[in-house]
């Protein structure tokens, strides 16, 4: 018993998967597949029967799509079930009826029937395959019933093709089957099926004959049936295993084996991948597909590239984990990966690469077997898919590359050989030895090897030997040689040539690899470094757009959610991404955190490709890429870099968001603190005048007959003064609130300072009654560019402050001067001044000077407001002490333009005649 107890790690893993299941169970619907070995076995019929039964039980069953095939029985069964209206698509003149995913999602039934899981959707649909629609329905928590035939199972696809001779293009990934909650086999004897077929119950008669001939042969049906039954048995076995292991079970794949398959551009690779998948299924192993990028794969033709990409995607569809590695040596890299991933078996296709003219190394297969150690190697003869073979033979490609593709390189090779022979002649003429002449040719070969590809170098080596033989050995101008010694020279010459060639090309491959890696790393590093220094979504997006556009030669646009709506961050209107249908694709990619759009499986009709920007916190936005040809973007290497860029950007965006949230949290805390301090100190300052007012007025009310007229007047004056003070305080509070919330709009205009000061003095008339205010301006018409209401407030506060902190009756001096665009104003009092350490602090909120002479009241908001107003104007406020004592507040405002002069504004010079001269 002890042995079977799960380890803590296993328990933890199980807890996690259980947790996932629990939370997913509330969302994810269940998939039931009615599985048959051929059309006509009655899958749709069985599905509809089940649906009718469920409906009679009162369940919410609707028909999403049922292929009637014109069969009477199915049509009767469909009756009485609710249908989700089909989508009609006009495609090349024909009207196609398709399952309507959006309608189904908005209908949100409990169970939906969607026939023909393997169906390929019409272009312009959301997904290219119906099983993807089903996947989305399941994610939306809707149970789905669907049907499928054995020939549509991806990993069995080629086996079926072999049995029946019919290649089925519509396939469903194995993973969909593996994750189906229920697999219901619909089986009838092949004889009965053939009979039904003849009765016309399966296809409409015209189609039946053709189908009969090609597919419905008895032996075919037997084989397919066996295949289907085996598949279901495997599934049942897996279910039993899982159930048996139950608590303490390891995983869905109890053998814990991992199988690795090597994927290449060769057309046969697809069938190798499928075989590997079948093997993996049989031994219940996980499958890893690996592709090794190196210099030679980099030189692949576009078709071969596409094949490679397709093979990797096929592996993905089959549920394999795909890995692309960069490395010079396929064998070493593959084995290293295999050891990292605890691979037990490696599947490789028989090497079909063109035989090289010289091969120093053993074939890849041989070396794999040699170096694999404890890992099993399965060598499979891959069979090319019939559709991809045509014109894609690597040999013909190599040949075409040899002749046509790079004529310039051949010309260059010949030119170098020409130079070599000229040099040889020169040496010969100079009387140099034969050995030196050979050196001239070898020099030529080395040059070719350095400059061009291996094939050129090999050609150059051979030519060099031939030329040497013809022109420099006796008898001249024949290939025949007198001296057998020369044969040794030739052999050495060609050997040296080939060795040099091999060495240089390997060197170049390594160099290329390093360069490429360096370039990518460098580019990524640069982007990362730049992004980390940028704040703000807009700027991040702009930088990323620039970098990606530059590197991939595409138009890149970043879309980010703004108030929940995904939008292009920049070039809002001009871009393709502003198009509503494109936005819909972007939204899909964002929501499902999956790549979508052109070149993918989803929403392929769109103009651009959409990559979600994924960070640990989820989708941050979408990267839209538009290019003439999106093919190159899906080369594993490019895609990897692109994805790295996307995730760099996503991380940067997340960092930015977190920073902003942090700041907001900080300022929220600060605001809270300010509010608290404000409440505490304001309540005191509000209460004092209120107490005076209510006290004075109540005594008037209660005792007015007993109070003499002078006392009454005194009380009334107090009330009036206090209410004015209160009014100023409230005004300051309001202003400060507005300023600190940024809701004040600064409306700047030119004002004579005198006027602003005048209205401030006017409002403080009572307060300043005992003061002598001396004003001195230079020039006398001192203009300043500011917001009059705010600046008036500054003057009021400064004047009030000056009064409060200087003895009653002393003068207040106001000086002003202008220097170009700069206006400087000083308000000086004759109080005791401000201590140096206080000179900075007085402008902070709720600071009050040490000793107020006239009274101790005032919140100390006044100077904070002055500071806020000056800040809002881009001006400065400071305080210092005058030599004679007393504080000097200094305001400095800088205008955007030169102030208008008095002359300029007196524009009516023509009628500028003084009126006094012309008495009427």
Partner 1 sequence: MTENLSERRLIAVIEDEPPIRKFLRASLGAEGYRVSEADTVQSGLRMITQEPPDLIVLDLGLPDGDGKALIAEIRQWSTVPIIVVSAHDQEREKIAALDAGADDYLTKPFGIGELLARLRVAIRHHNKSSSGSETVSQIYHHGPVRIELDSRRVFLDNVEVRLTKKEFDLLALLARNAGRVMTHRNLLKEIWGPHSTHENHYLRVFVANLRKKLETEPARPKLIITEQGVGYRLAESEDFA
Residues that bind partner 1 in the complex, under the rule CB under 8 A: 720, 723, 727, 731, 734-735, 738, 749-752, 754-759, 761-762, 773, 775, 780-781, 783, 788-789, 792, 900, 902, 905-908, 911-917, 919-920
453 vs 785 by CB, closer to partner 1 = 785
109 vs 816 by CB, closer to partner 1 = 816
710 vs 915 by CB, closer to partner 1 = 915
Measured between alpha carbons, how far is 646 from 636 in angstroms, rounded to an integer?
A: 15
178 vs 720 by CB, closer to partner 1 = 720
Smallest distance from the beta carbon of 793 to partner 1, in angstroms? 9
Q: Is 380 helix (H, G, I), strand (E, B) or coil?
A: strand
109 vs 689 by CB, closer to partner 1 = 689
The first and second tokens of residue 845, run together, are 């909120």
296 vs 759 by CB, closer to partner 1 = 759
253 vs 750 by CB, closer to partner 1 = 750
Smallest distance from the beta carbon of 697 to partner 1, in angstroms? 12
712 vs 880 by CB, closer to partner 1 = 712
Smallest distance from the beta carbon of 725 to partner 1, in angstroms? 11
Smallest distance from the beta carbon of 708 to partner 1, in angstroms? 21
Measured between alpha carbons, how far is 198 from 217 in angstroms, rounded to an integer?
A: 12
How do strand 345-349 and strand 258-262 relate by DSSP bridges? parallel
**Nearest-10 crossing angle of helices 269-282, 302-317:** 10
547 vs 783 by CB, closer to partner 1 = 783
Cα R_g (the chain), whole angstroms: 44
Q: How many CA atoms lie within 13 A of 800 on its CB side?
A: 26
570 vs 902 by CB, closer to partner 1 = 902
Smallest distance from the beta carbon of 760 to partner 1, in angstroms? 9
705 vs 912 by CB, closer to partner 1 = 912
Smallest distance from the beta carbon of 801 to partner 1, in angstroms? 18
Beta bridge partners of 751: 784
The first and second tokens of residue 396, run together, are 């013909």
Smallest distance from the beta carbon of 916 to partner 1, in angstroms? 4
Query: HEC profile for 799-863?
Result: HHHHHHCCCCCCCEEEEEEEECCEEEEEEECCCCCCCCCHHHHCCCCCCCCCCCCCCCCCCCHHH
Smallest distance from the beta carbon of 620 to partner 1, in angstroms? 41
378 vs 750 by CB, closer to partner 1 = 750
579 vs 697 by CB, closer to partner 1 = 697
DSSP string over 303-350: HHHHHHHHHHHHHHHTT-EEEEEE-S-HHHHHHHHHHHTT--EEEEEP
Q: Which helix (H) or strand (E) holds 396?
A: helix 394-400
Residue written as tokens 């069979």?
A: 383
Measured between alpha carbons, how far is 349 from 421 in angstroms, rounded to an integer?
A: 45
Measured between alpha carbons, how far is 41 from 421 in angstroms, rounded to an integer?
A: 77
Beta bridge partners of 825: 816, 891
Smallest distance from the beta carbon of 785 to partner 1, in angstroms? 9
182 vs 731 by CB, closer to partner 1 = 731
The first and second tokens of residue 435, run together, are 């050995």
Smallest distance from the beta carbon of 824 to partner 1, in angstroms? 17
Smallest distance from the beta carbon of 829 to partner 1, in angstroms? 17
Asked if 310 and 302 touch (Cβ cutoff 8 Å), the reply is: no
557 vs 756 by CB, closer to partner 1 = 756
Asked if 346 and 378 touch (Cβ cutoff 8 Å), the reply is: yes
Measured between alpha carbons, how far is 673 from 678 in angstroms, rounded to an integer?
A: 8
Q: Which helix (H) or strand (E) holds 96?
A: strand 94-98
Identify each DSSP E strand in 360-500 by its residue range.
Answer: 376-380
Q: Is 704 helix (H, G, I), strand (E, B) or coil?
A: coil
Query: HEC profile for 24-69?
Result: HHCCCCCEEEEEECCCCCCHHHHHHHHHHHHHHCCCCEEEEECCCC
Which conformational region is residue 886 in: left (phi greater than 0), alpha (psi within -120 to 50 degrees), or beta? left
Smallest distance from the beta carbon of 745 to partner 1, in angstroms? 10
502-510: Cβ within 8 A, 24+ apart = 502/358, 502/360, 502/454, 504/446, 504/449, 504/450, 504/457, 505/449, 505/453, 505/454, 505/457, 506/328, 508/295, 509/294, 509/295, 509/296, 509/328, 510/328
10 vs 740 by CB, closer to partner 1 = 740
883 vs 907 by CB, closer to partner 1 = 907
Nearest alpha-carbon partner for 512 in 297, 288, 742, 771: 297
CA 599 to chain centroid = 17
Asked if 95 and 89 touch (Cβ cutoff 8 Å), the reply is: yes
Measured between alpha carbons, how far is 112 from 86 in angstroms, rounded to an integer?
A: 13
Smallest distance from the beta carbon of 769 to partner 1, in angstroms? 11
Smallest distance from the beta carbon of 843 to partner 1, in angstroms? 22
Smallest distance from the beta carbon of 652 to partner 1, in angstroms? 42
Measured between alpha carbons, how far is 675 from 669 in angstroms, rounded to an integer?
A: 10
Asked if 777 and 817 touch (Cβ cutoff 8 Å), the reply is: yes
Length of the chain: 920
Smallest distance from the beta carbon of 807 to partner 1, in angstroms? 22
270 vs 812 by CB, closer to partner 1 = 812
Smallest distance from the beta carbon of 706 to partner 1, in angstroms? 22
Smallest distance from the beta carbon of 762 to partner 1, in angstroms? 7
């Amino acid at each position: 018993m002890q042995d079977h107890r799960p380890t803590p790690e296993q328990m933890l893993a199980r807890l996690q998967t259980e947790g996932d299941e629990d939370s997913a169970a509330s969302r994810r619907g269940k998939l039931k597949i009615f599985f048959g070995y051929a059309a006509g076995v009655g899958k749709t019929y069985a599905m509809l029967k089940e649906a009718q039964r469920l409906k009679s039980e009162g369940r919410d069953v609707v028909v999403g799509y049922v292929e009637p095939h014109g069969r009477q029985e199915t049509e009767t069964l469909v009756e009485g079930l609710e249908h989700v209206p089909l989508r009609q698509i006009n495609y090349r003149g024909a009207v196609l009826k398709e399952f309507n995913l959006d309608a189904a999602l908005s209908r949100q039934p409990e169970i939906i029937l969607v026939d023909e899981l393997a169906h390929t959707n019409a272009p312009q649909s959301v997904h290219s395959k119906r099983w993807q629609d089903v996947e989305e329905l399941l994610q939306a928590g809707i149970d789905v019933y669907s049907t499928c035939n054995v020939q549509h199972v991806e990993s069995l696809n080629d086996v079926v093709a072999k049995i029946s001779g019919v290649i089925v293009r519509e396939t469903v990934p194995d993973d969909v089957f593996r994750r189906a909650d229920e697999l219901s086999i619909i089986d009838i004897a092949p004889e009965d099926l053939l009979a039904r077929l003849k009765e016309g119950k399966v296809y409409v008669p015209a189609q039946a004959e053709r189908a009969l001939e090609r597919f419905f042969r008895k032996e075919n049906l037997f084989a397919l049936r066996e295949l289907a039954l085996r598949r279901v048995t495997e599934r049942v076995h897996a279910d039993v295993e899982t159930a048996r292991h139950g608590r303490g079970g390891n995983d869905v794949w109890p053998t814990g084996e991992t199988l690795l398959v090597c994927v290449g551009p060769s057309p046969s690779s697809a069938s190798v991948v499928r075989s590997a998948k079948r093997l993996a299924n049989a031994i219940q192993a996980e499958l890893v597909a690996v592709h090794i990028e190196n210099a030679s794969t980099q030189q692949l033709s576009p078709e071969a590239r596409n094949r490679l990409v397709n093979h990797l995607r096929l592996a993905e569809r089959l549920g394999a984990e795909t890995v692309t590695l960069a490395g010079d040596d396929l064998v070493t890299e593959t084995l290293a990966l295999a050891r990292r991933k605890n691979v037990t078996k490696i599947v490789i296709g028989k090497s079909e690469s063109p035989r090289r003219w010289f091969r120093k190394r053993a074939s890849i297969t041989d070396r794999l077997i040699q170096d694999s150690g404890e890992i099993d190697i399965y060598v499979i003869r891959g069979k090319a898919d019939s559709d991809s073979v045509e014109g894609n033979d690597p040999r013909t490609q190599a040949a075409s590359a040899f002749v046509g593709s790079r004529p310039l390189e051949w010309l260059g090779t010949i030119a170098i050989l020409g130079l070599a022979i000229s040099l040889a002649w020169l040496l010969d003429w100079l009387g140099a030895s034969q050995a030196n002449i050979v050196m001239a040719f070898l020099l030529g070969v080395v040059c070719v090897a350095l400059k061009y590809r291996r094939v050129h170098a090999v050609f150059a080596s051979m030519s060099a030997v031939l030329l040497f033989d013809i022109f420099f050995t006796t008898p001249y101008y024949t290939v025949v040689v007198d001296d057998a010694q020369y044969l040794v020279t030739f052999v050495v010459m060609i050997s040296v040539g080939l060795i040099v060639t091999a060495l240089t090309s390997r060197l170049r491959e390594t160099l290329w690899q390093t360069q490429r890696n360096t370039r990518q790393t460098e580019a990524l590093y640069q982007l990362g470094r730049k992004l980390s220094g940028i704040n703000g979504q807009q700027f991040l997006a702009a930088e990323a757009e620039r970098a990606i556009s530059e590197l991939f030669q595409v138009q890149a646009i970043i879309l980010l959610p703004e108030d929940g709506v995904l939008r292009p961050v920049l070039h809002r209107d001009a871009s393709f991404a502003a198009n509503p249908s494109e936005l819909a694709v972007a939204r899909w990619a964002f929501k499902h955190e999956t790549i979508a759009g052109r070149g993918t499986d989803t929403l392929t009709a769109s103009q651009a490709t959409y990559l979600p920007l994924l960070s640990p916190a989820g989708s941050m936005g979408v990267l839209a890429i538009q290019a003439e040809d999106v093919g190159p973007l899906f080369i594993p290497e490019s895609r990897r870099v692109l994805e790295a860029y996307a995730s760099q950007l996503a991380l940067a965006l997340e960092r930015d968001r977190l920073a902003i949230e942090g700041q907001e949290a900080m300022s929220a805390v600060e605001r809270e603190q300010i509010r608290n301090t404000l409440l505490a100190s304001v309540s005191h300052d509000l209460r004092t005048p209120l107490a005076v007012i209510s006290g004075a007025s109540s005594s008037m009310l209660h005792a007015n007959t007993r109070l003499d007229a002078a006392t009454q007047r005194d009380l009334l004056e107090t009330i009036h003064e206090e209410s004015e003070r209160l009014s100023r305080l409230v005004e300051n509070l309001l202003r400060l609130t507005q300023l600190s919330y940024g809701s004040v709009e600064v409306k700047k205009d030119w004002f004579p300072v005198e006027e602003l000061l005048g209205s401030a003095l006017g409002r403080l008339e009572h307060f300043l009654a005992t003061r002598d205010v001396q004003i001195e301006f230079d020039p006398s018409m001192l203009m300043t560019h500011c917001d009059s209401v705010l600046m008036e407030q500054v003057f009021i506060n400064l004047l009030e402050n000056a009064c409060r902190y200087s003895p009653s009756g002393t003068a207040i001096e106001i000086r002003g001067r202008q220097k170009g665009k700069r206006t400087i104003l000083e308000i000086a009092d004759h109080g005791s001044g401000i201590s140096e350490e206080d000179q900075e602090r007085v402008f902070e909120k709720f600071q009050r000077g040490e000793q107020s002479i006239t009274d101790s009241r005032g919140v100390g908001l006044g100077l904070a407001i002055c500071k806020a107003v000056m800040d809002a104007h881009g001006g400065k406020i400071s305080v210092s002490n005058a030599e004679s004592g007393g504080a000097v507040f200094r305001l400095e405002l800088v205008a955007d333009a030169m102030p208008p002069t008095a002359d300029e504004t007196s524009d009516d010079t023509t009628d500028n005649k003084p009126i006094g001269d012309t008495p009427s």
